[in-house]
Amino acid sequence: MIQAVQRLGRDFRLLWAGETVSMVGSAVAGTALPLVAVVGLRASTFEVALLTAVAWLPWLVVGLPAGAWVDRVRKRPVMVACNTVSMLVFVSVPLAQVAGVLSVPYLLGAALAGGIANVFFSVAYRSYLPAIVDGDQLLKANTRLLGSESVAQVGGPGLAGVLAAAFGPVSGVLVDAVSFGVSALCLKGIRRVEPKPVVTQRVRLRTQVADGMRFVADDPYLRVLVLFGAASNLALDGYASIQVVFLARDLGAGVGTIGVVLALVEVGGVVGALLVTRLAGRFGTARAFLLCEVLAAPVMLIGPLDGLTCFVVAGIAVTGGLVGSNVLTGTFRQRYCPPELFGRITASSAVVNYGTIPLGAFLGGVLGEALGVRETMFIMAGVQLASLVILLKSPLRRDRDFPTAAARPLQSLQPPHQPPPAARSGSSPG
């Protein structure tokens, strides 16, 4: 794997290294924040779920304008600024504890501020990768990045549990803050000069937003992926938002055990990242994507059964399928979508996909309080299984591979005085 990363070039290695460190920090914080709320602040099930909801709520509020704005600027400075803001936000959490002012509302505020920075970073990040990696290397690059994310997810929860046992849950949030700083430094070390986006001042921001939305709505492949992603994220995050409560209160696991269990779950992501290229080569990219989703969803139903083993087995299957499918669909979008539209397409898709995450987390909290945590997790697993109908009735069921030819850019995106197509730069698919 190291040799494969080296072949992708120095700039990719810096991006990969910075994001790997940041992913480890985020994986630690993903366990540490709920532990701070559950163990340190005695938060209710609804309050713990609300942490997930507010972190993803910014996609509904600023996602669309963020995509249009990012298409107008170079991406790397945006990413560096977002990492710096996130570092300052999360370093304030342990400082608040030292000052004796840490509370559930403070945690919610930090999660919201970090979520806003994440919106701009995510849109810029997905648009930036094709600028430093050639198109025929995108699948390999995405596989490396998501493989590293999976490895980080394996180590992160366990590290969060160790830190929580030794220094208290809030120490994991400090690790996340430091990781954002490391990522920002790695990004600043990238040498390749990113092409400056071609922008016409005659097109209003709201028109550009509408262009991205229309492109997604009119395209049969992007539309299906967005609808499925919305339904799937509703189920997955309704389930995940209360899983720490389930482990701690229903199964009686301690903070160290919770970290180990969540680390074992993420082993599935490593397996998914390792196998996805082989699956795509043997069955085709579209069929491999369907295989990842169809095989993983039914296993989710055993997660809420009694015992840690059932939870781990279900989690490994779901995480493996999720990472594999994300590699394939992420690469498809980067190859298929016109570069000048990519930020808006990403934001338009994410507003719908990620917009259901706070809704799922909110439902997880509400239903968890009303019906019970275990019962709510069964409901969410059923929703995930039902969401497969969207894929099985889509054009993807007939295709071996995802298409690679981008649709024609929308007319409103063309500059008023454009050079001949052969002289334009950055107009081919990523």
As to burial, measured by CB atoms within 10 angstroms (0-12 exposed, 13-18 middle, 19+ buried), residue 283 is: middle
Q: Quick check: 54 and 204 in contact, CB under 8 A?
A: no
Q: What is the pLDDT of residue 423?
A: 29
Whole-number Å distance between alpha carbons of 300 and 14: 36
**pLDDT tens, residue order, the chain (430 aa):** 445 445 567 888 898 888 889 888 888 888 888 889 988 888 888 998 888 889 888 888 888 788 778 888 899 999 999 999 999 999 999 999 999 999 999 999 999 999 999 889 988 887 788 788 876 677 778 777 877 776 676 677 777 877 887 888 899 999 999 999 999 999 999 988 887 776 555 556 567 677 778 888 888 999 999 999 999 999 999 999 899 899 999 999 888 888 888 888 878 888 888 888 899 999 999 999 999 999 899 999 999 998 899 999 999 999 999 888 988 988 888 788 887 777 778 777 877 888 888 899 999 999 999 999 999 999 999 999 999 999 998 988 889 999 876 544 444 333 333 333 332 223 222 2
DSSP result, 349-395:
HHHHHHHHHHHHHHHHHHHHHHH-HHHHHHHHHHHHHHTHHHHHTSG
As to burial, measured by CB atoms within 10 angstroms (0-12 exposed, 13-18 middle, 19+ buried), residue 341 is: buried
Q: Is 419 helix (H, G, I), strand (E, B) or coil?
A: coil
Whole-number Å distance between alpha carbons of 148 and 151: 5
Other CB atoms within a 10 A radius of the CB of residue 267 amount to 18
Here the tokens at position 17 are 């290294």
Q: Quick check: 203 and 351 in contact, CB under 8 A?
A: no
Pick from 29, 19, 110, 111: nearest CA to 357: 111
Whole-number Å distance between alpha carbons of 118 and 105: 20
Q: Name every residue whose Cβ is closer than 8 Å to that of residue 309 and which is 6 or more positions away in sequence.
A: none
Whole-number Å distance between alpha carbons of 234 and 239: 9
DSSP annotation of 50 reads H
Distance of CA 356 to the CA centre of its chain: 13
As to burial, measured by CB atoms within 10 angstroms (0-12 exposed, 13-18 middle, 19+ buried), residue 416 is: exposed
Q: What is the pLDDT of residue 117?
A: 93
Domain 9-192+205-405: which CATH number of 2.130.10.30, 1.20.1250.20, 3.40.50.2000, 3.40.228.10: 1.20.1250.20
Q: Quick check: 96 and 106 in contact, CB under 8 A?
A: yes
Q: What is the pLDDT of residue 150?
A: 64
Residue that the structure tokens 């095989």 belong to? 295
Whole-number Å distance between alpha carbons of 192 and 10: 9
Instruction: Look at the alpha carbons of 385, 386, 389, 391 in this order and tell me if their dihedral is positive or negative.
Output: negative
Model-wide pTM > 0.85 = no
Q: What is the pLDDT of residue 116?
A: 93
Q: Name every residue whose Cβ is closer than 8 Å to that of residue 113 and which is 6 or more positions away in sequence.
A: 85, 89
Q: What is the pLDDT of residue 94?
A: 94
Secondary structure in 3-state letters for 143-197:
HHHHHHHHHHHHHHHHHHHHHHHHHCCHHHHHHHHHHHHHHHHHHHCCCCCCCCC
Q: Quick check: 103 and 141 in contact, CB under 8 A?
A: no
Whole-number Å distance between alpha carbons of 119 and 116: 5
Distance of CA 309 to the CA centre of its chain: 26
Q: What is the pLDDT of residue 179?
A: 93
Domain edges within the chain: 9-192+205-405
Q: What is the pLDDT of residue 283?
A: 94
Pick from 267, 18, 260: nearest CA to 150: 267
Q: Is 400 helix (H, G, I), strand (E, B) or coil?
A: coil
